[in-house]
Amino acid sequence: MKYLVSSILFIAFLSVGIQAQSRLDLTNKPIKSDLLVKILNLSEMKELKPPRPTDSNFFLRLYSLDDISNDEDDSLDYCAPGVETEVTCGFRYFLAVHDGSLGVSGAVYDLGLVGEITKIEWLKKSNSDFDRLQLEVTNYPAHAFKLNPKLVKKTKKFELAVNMNSLEIREIK
């Protein structure tokens, strides 16, 4: 009986030891999403922090992928035809939203390909379920206007209401 109990304890110890070891092994599984790979490897990330932590229920991050890296859309005009090197004429933006809950992945919204988001302001919350931002978008990045003085600068303002289930975009006239 003494040996049986010892054997059971020894087997249980080995079983726990083997399970604990399983968290020490690396894998080599490739991610099959070209867009995710581009975002992780080629974009810049900006943490969007509210003026006061109580002004937001969410953690927001804005990722920008330049139009040179984001070769999916050729609709942007080449903004600096006299320059011999590649010039970024716009950015594709992605807004990541998370509420800090464990086990919840959050959401990511594709904001599209624009010239550049030049200004971001936090707005007072009218609804506790949404964070509200005001964005100013310019038709080309600031450096493009320096490279090509013939470009005409245009801007638009948008109000965003965002949570993990939806993103509402409204142009401000």
Q: What is the 3-state secondary structure (H, E, C) of 60-126?
A: EEEEEEECCCCCCCCCCCCCCCCCCCCCCCCEEEEEEEECCCCCCCCEEEEEEEECEEEEEEEECCC
Report if residue 22 sits inside a domain: no
Q: Which domain holds residue 138?
A: 31-172
CA distance 159 to 15: 56
Mean of all residue pLDDT scores within the chain: 85
**Has residue 9 been placed in a domain?**
no
Task: Say if residue 19's pLDDT is above 60.
Answer: no
Quote the number of domains for the chain: 1
Better-predicted residue by pLDDT, 157 or 24 = 157
Q: What is the pLDDT of residue 5?
A: 59
Angle made by CA atoms 154, 95, 156, in degrees to the nearest 5: 15
What span, in angstroms and rounded, lies between the C-alpha atoms of 57 and 72? 33
13 falls within a domain: no
The answer to the question of residue 85 being in a domain is: yes
Write down how long the chain is.
Answer: 173
Residues whose CB falls within 8 Å of the CB of residue 33, separated by 6 or more in sequence, listed in order:
none
Residue 15: inside a domain: no
**pLDDT number for residue 79:** 86
Question: pTM for the full model?
Answer: 0.80
Other C-beta atoms lying within 10 Å of the C-beta of residue 80: 20
72: in domain:
yes
Is the confidence at residue 101, as pLDDT, over 90? no
Confidence of residue 20 (pLDDT cuts 50, 70, 90): low
pLDDT at 9: 63
Whether 156 is covered by a domain: the verdict is yes
Residue pair 172/114 in contact (Cβ under 8 Å)? The answer is: no
Is residue 141 predicted with pLDDT exceeding 80?
yes
State residue 97's pLDDT score: 95
d(Cα 131, Cα 57) in Å, to the nearest integer? 7
Average the pLDDT over 137-165 and give the result: 94
Contact yes or no for 108/95 (Cβ under 8 A): yes
